[in-house]
């Protein structure tokens, strides 16, 4: 759950971890009243760090509609790049979806929140 300092819940991040290959499929949703403030970027970044440090995740994947430009921009800001669906057969992408990927090594070492 993503909460403001006031305690108000404004969204969530989630991850399905596939221990067999060190991959995690991530997702996120923020109340639109809070879009455009870098809050989603911060919340997803925190989750990625947690997954890498405590769950052994080495590959982060996100599945999104090709038309979801806001989600794509968020992922690109976080260092994700489009990847081939054939490389990740366990993540079935529909014809109108795309798959994006990032490795932990691509983290910014001086990340702070």
Using CB under 6 A as the criterion, which residues of the chain lie in contact with ligand COA when the complex forms? 27-30, 35-41, 62, 64, 68, 70-71, 73-74
User: Considering beta carbons, is residue 56 or 73 the nearer one to ligand COA?
Assistant: 73
CB of 31 within 8 A of CB of 10?
Answer: yes
User: Considering beta carbons, is residue 68 or 83 the nearer one to ligand COA?
Assistant: 68
Please state the closest distance from residue 37 (CB atom) to ligand COA, in A: 5
Per DSSP, the three-state class of 68 is coil
Please state the closest distance from residue 98 (CB atom) to ligand COA, in A: 10
User: Considering beta carbons, is residue 57 or 74 the nearer one to ligand COA?
Assistant: 74
DSSP 9-50: EEEEEEEEEETTTTEEEEEEEE-GGGTTSSHHHHHHHHHHHH
Distance CA 57, CA 51 (A): 6
Please state the closest distance from residue 33 (CB atom) to ligand COA, in A: 10
């Amino acid at each position: 759950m993503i909460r403001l300092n006031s305690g108000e819940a404004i969204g969530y991040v989630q991850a399905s971890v596939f221990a067999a290959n060190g991959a995690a499929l991530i997702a996120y949703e923020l109340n639109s009243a809070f879009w455009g403030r870098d809050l989603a970027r911060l919340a997803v970044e925190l989750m990625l760090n947690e997954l890498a440090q405590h769950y052994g995740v080495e590959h982060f994947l996100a599945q999104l509609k090709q038309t979801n430009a806001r989600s794509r921009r968020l992922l690109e800001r976080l260092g994700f790049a489009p990847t081939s669906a054939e490389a990740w057969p366990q993540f079935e992408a529909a014809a109108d979806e795309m798959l994006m990927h990032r490795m932990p090594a691509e983290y910014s070492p001086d990340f702070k929140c």
